[in-house]
Structure 1
C-alpha cells in the first residue's frame, strides 16, 4: 500500500482518521473543537432558570391572598370597634378590634377611635413578608 502526502494509506479504508489530519494533538485525547457535555450544561442552566422563575412566581402569588386576608381583618376590626364606640355592642372598641383581628389570623398595628368612628391598621405575615391593610368605619357622612 502506498502512502499519500497527508499521512493516509491509499487503498486501505480503516474508517479511522489519522491524528495528523484530525485536529487532535497527540497525547491530549479530545481535539480543540470537542463540545461533548455542552448539552448537559445547557440543560442544567435551563432547569435552574425554571426553578428560579417558579420560586419567584410562587412568592409573588402568595402575597395576593395574604393581602386579601389583611383587608378582610382590617374591615371586620374597624366595624367591630365602630360598633363598640357607638354603643351598638358592649365592650372597649380597640380591645374588640384586637380580638377580631386575631380571630382572622392577623395582628393589630394600631387602633384609633374618634367619636363613633374607628380606624385600624393590621398586618398579616406571608412567606416572611408583612402585608398590611387599613380600614375606617363609622356613621354615614363621616370625613377626615
Structure 2
C-alpha cells in the first residue's frame, strides 16, 4: 500500500516554482525569433524601395542631360537604359519644352509591384 504525503507536503511540492524561469526565458526567445522572422521581409521591401527611388533619380537625371543636349540621343531611351541597368523598368517618361524630365520606374519585390518617380531639369526650373 502506497502512502500519500500529508496535504501540506503535497501543496508545497506543487507550489514550488523551481525551473520556471528557464521555461519563461525560452518562451521569450521564441517570441523574439518569430518577430524577427516576420520583420525581415518588411526591411527588405523598404531597402528595395530606396534602391528604386535611386534608380528613378538617376533615370530622370539621364533624361534631363539628354534633353539639354549635353548627351546625344533620346531622353526617354537614356532613362530606360539606365533604369534597366539599375534593375528597374521605365514606366513613364515625359520631357517638357523647358527640358524638365519626369520619369517613373517600377519593379517587383516579393511578388508586389512597387514604383517611384522623379523629376530633373535645369537649375531654377524644377
TM-score (norm: length of structure 1): 0.63
Instruction: Report deviation, 1:70.
Output: 0.6
Q: Runs in 1 of length 4+ with deviation above 6 angstroms? A: 42-48
CA displacement 1:21-55 (0-9 Å, x = unmatched): xxxxxxxxxxxxxxxxxxxxx99987874554223
| 2:61 matches 1:79 | yes
- Trace 1:104-123 onto structure 2 (pairs within 5 A): 104-115=86-97, 116-123=99-106
| 2:91 matches 1:131 | no
* Number of residue pairs the alignment of both structures matches: 121
CA displacement 1:11-30 (0-9 Å, x = unmatched): xxxxxx579xxxxxxxxxxx
1:33: which partner in 2?
A: none
Residues 48 and 131 from structure 1, CA distance in 2 versus in 1: closer, same or farther, beyond 3 angstroms?
A: farther
Aligned mate of 1:98, from 56, 65, 80: 80
Q: CA RMSD in A?
A: 3.3
Matches of 1:128 and 1:45, distance apart in 2: 33
Instruction: Report deviation, 1:99.
Output: 0.4
Instruction: Report deviation, 1:82.
Output: 0.7
For structure 2, which runs of at least 5 residues remain unmatched after alignment?
A: 5-23
Matches of 2:89 and 2:37, distance apart in 1: 27
Give the conservation status (yes or no) of the 8 Å contact 1:73–1:106: yes
TM-score (norm: length of structure 2): 0.71
Query: 3-state DSSP class of the match of 2:41?
Result: helix
Instruction: Report deviation, 1:120.
Output: 0.6
Instruction: Determine which structure has greater relative contact order: mean sequence separation of CA pairs < 8 Å that are 6+ residues apart, divided by chain length.
Output: 2
